[in-house]
């Protein structure tokens, strides 16, 4: 449900992609036809389950006078308000309502994202379907809407591209905007491997990075006449916001986690559809294993400090071993996580993969860690054995 195809094509031509994966390794897949049948009404995701309850007469939660169904939706889905990320670039189906003074707000958990635009008719939602991968919903903000939840078919016109591995998925871009929020110049394919000086153009960022630079909060006041420079000093304070929002800030730590999660979800989507089509690709498997082992993660240029509650709340959700260790433990000194293994293995989309595929992947990840033989890998395997469902005992 991002910008129209024409606008996206222009931005991709302007962009310098940072993805190291080769596009030819991920050819298009026939997801619209059986057995995937992506556009069918059949659904196996948390939003479909919620819709089955909220669409019953008399069960709809009351609309919040400022935010509509957003607060109730976040409560039902147990998505923390502290995960709020603010986007000031016009990169959404509701782009005419978005600007630096009225940013789009994103909220997320491991398998769901929710987007709110002040004054918009709908919330934009993505969720992980255990048979289709990422699916897209609109949630009506109108009190008298005959149907609250809908699945628009046109989201894939933007959300299937080389940046999503040619399956329905997520696109994260970093484009600095003009004063009105129009994206002008930047980079595509933002993941945990993207150098920090190329991240977060068009996004608001709060919190503190002790060293290094990023493109967050930056506006090219003179429009196309200005040019970004990767050596410019970072802009620490976001623009003044006039529109209502549930929380203050757009936490740097939440950005780091979100960047990691979105590419993880794209890789799981690709693995799922390849498996169901009996086209499992060794390149996809290796890309996934490398990603969860954080082999290409860009090192933090210095210590990172959260601007709110996100870091504490995120770690509290972690499954812990008998010694109190969790893959959700954050480092924030030289890298994102304390252990070089993605906490996304513990639940969400990965744990919904078909059992044989999931177990095979875990065996290969464990073997890679065992091969390294260093002390850090030994500790990581100990934590994984106790906290990742399906990880084989020693």
DSSP string, 196-238: GGGS-TTB--BSEESS----TT-B-TTGGGS---TTSPP--SP
pLDDT in tens, 190-212: 999 999 999 999 999 999 888 88
Q: Please name which of 236, 234, 243, 319 lies closest in space to residue 84, comparing C-alpha atoms.
A: 243
The answer to whether residue 243 is domain-embedded is no
pLDDT at 205: 96
Is position 174 within any domain?
yes
pLDDT at 236: 75
So what's the pLDDT on residue 333?
A: 96
Domain termination residue (choose one: 181, 203, 225)? 225
Same domain, 12 and 147: yes
Q: Answer whether residue 46 is part of any domain.
A: yes
Are residues 14 and 135 both part of a single domain?
yes
- Asked if residue 13 is part of any domain, the answer here is yes
- Neighbouring-strand partners of residue 206: 251
pLDDT (0 to 100) of residue 366 = 97
DSSP 274-287: HHHTT---HHHHHH
DSSP annotation of 330 reads B
Are 50 and 118 in the same domain?
yes
Indicate if 280 and 379 belong to the same structural domain. Answer: yes
* Cis before 35? omega within 30: yes
Mention every residue, 6+ apart, whose C-beta is less than 8 A from residue 144: none
User: How many structural domains are present in the chain?
Assistant: 2
Examine the domain organization and report whether 264 and 378 are in the same domain. Answer: yes
The one-digit pLDDT tens for each residue of the chain (394 residues) are 443 433 333 333 333 333 456 667 899 999 999 999 999 999 999 999 999 999 888 888 989 999 999 999 999 999 999 999 999 999 888 999 999 999 999 999 999 999 999 999 999 999 999 999 999 999 999 998 889 999 999 999 899 999 999 999 999 999 999 999 999 988 888 999 999 999 999 999 999 888 888 999 999 877 665 666 655 667 778 888 989 899 999 999 999 999 999 999 999 999 999 999 999 999 999 999 999 999 999 999 999 999 999 999 999 999 999 999 999 999 999 999 999 999 999 988 999 999 999 999 999 999 999 998 899 999 999 999 999 999 999 8
| 195 in the same domain as 56 | yes
pLDDT for res 23: 65
Q: Are 111 and 348 in contact (CB under 8 A)?
A: yes
- Residue 217 counted as domain residue: yes
Residue 239 lies in a domain: no
CB atoms inside a 10 Å sphere around CB 314: 22
Quick one: 159 and 213 in the same domain? yes
Range of the domain at 199: 5-21+29-225
- Shared domain for 215 and 267, answered yes or no, is no
**Same domain, residue pair 204 and 304:** no
Residues 147 and 275 reside in one and the same domain: no
- If asked whether residues 300 and 175 sit together in one domain, one would say no
Gyration radius (Cα) of the chain, Å: 20
**pLDDT at residue 207, rounded to an integer:** 93
Residue 305 lies in a domain: yes
**Cα separation, 81 vs 102, whole angstroms:** 18
Name the residue among 234, 191, 241 with its Cα closest to residue 216: 234
Burial of 321 from C-beta contacts in 10 A (0-12 / 13-18 / 19+): middle
Within a domain: residue 282?
yes
Cβ-in-10-Å burial (0-12, 13-18, 19+) of 198 comes to buried
Q: Name the residue among 59, 41, 18, 176 with its Cα closest to residue 69.
A: 59
Decide which of 225, 247, 265 is a domain's last residue. Answer: 225
* Same domain assignment for residues 170 and 267: no
Residues 6+ apart with CB under 8 A from 257: 310, 314, 336
Q: Give the helix ranges, DSSP H, for the chain.
A: 5-14, 46-54, 70-77, 156-159, 252-276, 282-292, 310-316, 348-351, 355-372, 375-387
Query: What is the crossing angle of helices 70-77 and 46-54, to 10°?
Result: 120
Are residues 261 and 108 in contact, defined by beta-carbon separation less than 8 angstroms? yes
Q: Report the pLDDT value the prediction gives residue 235, as an integer from 0 to 100.
A: 78
Specify the pTM. 0.92
């Amino acid at each position: 449900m991002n910008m129209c195809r024409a606008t996206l094509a222009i931005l991709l031509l302007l962009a310098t992609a940072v993805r190291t994966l080769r596009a030819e390794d991920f050819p298009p897949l026939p997801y619209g036809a059986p057995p995937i049948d992506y556009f069918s009404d059949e659904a196996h995701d948390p939003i479909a389950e919620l819709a089955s309850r909220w669409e019953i007469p008399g069960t709809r939660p009351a609309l919040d006078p400022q935010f509509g169904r957003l607060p109730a939706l976040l409560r039902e889905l147990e998505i923390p308000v502290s995960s709020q990320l603010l986007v000031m670039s016009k990169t959404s189906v509701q782009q005419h309502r978005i600007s630096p003074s009225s940013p789009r707000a994103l909220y997320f958990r491991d398998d769901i994202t929710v987007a709110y635009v002040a004054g918009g008719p709908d919330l934009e939602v993505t969720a992980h379907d255990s048979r289709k991968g990422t699916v897209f919903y609109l949630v009506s903000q109108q009190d008298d809407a005959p149907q609250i939840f809908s699945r628009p078919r046109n989201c894939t016109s933007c959300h299937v591209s080389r940046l999503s591995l040619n399956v329905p998925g997520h696109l994260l871009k970093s484009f600095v905007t003009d004063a009105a929020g129009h994206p002008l110049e930047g980079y595509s394919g933002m993941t945990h491997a993207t150098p920090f000086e190329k991240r977060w153009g068009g996004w608001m960022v709060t919190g503190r990075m002790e060293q290094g630079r990023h493109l967050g909060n930056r506006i090219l006041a003179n429009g196309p006449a200005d040019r970004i420079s990767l050596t410019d000093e970072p802009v620490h304070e976001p623009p003044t916001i006039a529109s209502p929002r549930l929380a203050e800030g757009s936490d740097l730590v939440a950005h780091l986690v979100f960047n990691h999660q979105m590419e993880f979800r794209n890789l799981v989507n690709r693995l799922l559809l390849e498996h169901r089509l009996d086209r499992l690709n060794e390149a996809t498997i290796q890309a996934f294993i490398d990603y969860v082992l954080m082999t290409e993660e860009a090192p933090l240029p210095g210590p990172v400090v959260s601007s709110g509650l996100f870091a504490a709340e995120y770690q509290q959700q972690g499954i812990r071993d008998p010694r109190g260790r969790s893959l959700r433990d954050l480092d924030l000194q030289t890298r994102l996580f304390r252990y070089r293994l993605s906490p996304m293995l513990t639940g969400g989309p990965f744990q919904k993969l078909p059992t044989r595929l999931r177990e095979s992947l875990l065996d290969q990840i464990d073997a890679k860690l065992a091969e390294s033989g260093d002390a850090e890998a030994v500790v990581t395997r100990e934590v994984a054995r106790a906290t990742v469902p399906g990880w084989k005992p020693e």
